[in-house]
Amino acid sequence: MMRLKFDEQLKQLHDSLIEMGGLVEEAIADANKALIEQDVELAKKIINSDDEIDNKEREIEDLCLKLILRQQPVAKDLRLVSSVLKMITDLERIGDHASDISEITLLLADKQYIKKLEHIPHMAAATMKMVTGSIEAFVKNDIALAQKIIAHDDVVDNLFLKVKKKLIDLIKDNTDNGDQAIDLIMIAKYFEKIGDHATNIAEWVVFSHTGVH
């Protein structure tokens, strides 16, 4: 009976984590769209919706603590629950970075971009794929998928280096490009950090199964 109750709450934990992952994925997609289209209202919506992600983190945190305190899980289950506690911290940080990107988008909203945004949208797409994949790896107990996500971080890192190089070249060509180039490098850096957090989530998936981080 105790185990049945534990499994029910574990299912609830899975569902809540998928919901939080969905909110975060939507925030990344919207942050990218707001940036490309210079959509002020959408950027403001992302900044305001960060509270929803924070609330979801607290809700999952409470559920994890109840599972630990009431159900007295065995070692493997405890490892799984403690991994979820780590994962939601990374998801919350991803939400913060989507909000950070949107704040810079507001600053740039009335300016013409100094170059076409080509690599930054690719970074956004790659990070969304990583977030979705890492959550999926957890829910499906798929270590191979988690390791694939970890390896995919190199794609995001390489895109960041390309963005940085092109923008630095633009500053060298014309110092008037400086302020906006730095803002766009910051946005690319936030996307790179999102990739790092998605990698962390995938690493916690591996840990929850193997006990090795």
Q: What is the CATH number of the domain that holds 106?
A: 1.20.58.220
Q: What is the pTM of this model?
A: 0.94
Buried b (16+ CB within 10 A) or exposed e, 125-140: bbbbbbbbbbbbbbee
Cα atoms in the Cβ-side hemisphere of radius 13 Å centred on 204: 27
Buried b (16+ CB within 10 A) or exposed e, 66-83: ebeeebebeeebebbbbb
| Closest of 184, 25, 161 to residue 113, by C-alpha | 184
User: Using one digit for the tens of pLDDT, what is the confidence trace for 15-55?
Assistant: 999 999 999 999 999 999 999 999 999 999 999 999 999 99
CA distance 111 to 173: 19
Residues of the chain with pLDDT under 50: none
Range of the structural domain that residue 121 is part of: 2-210
Q: How many structural domains comprise the chain?
A: 1
The pLDDT, as a whole number, for residue 69 is 85
User: Using one digit for the tens of pLDDT, what is the confidence trace for 201-211?
Assistant: 999 999 998 88
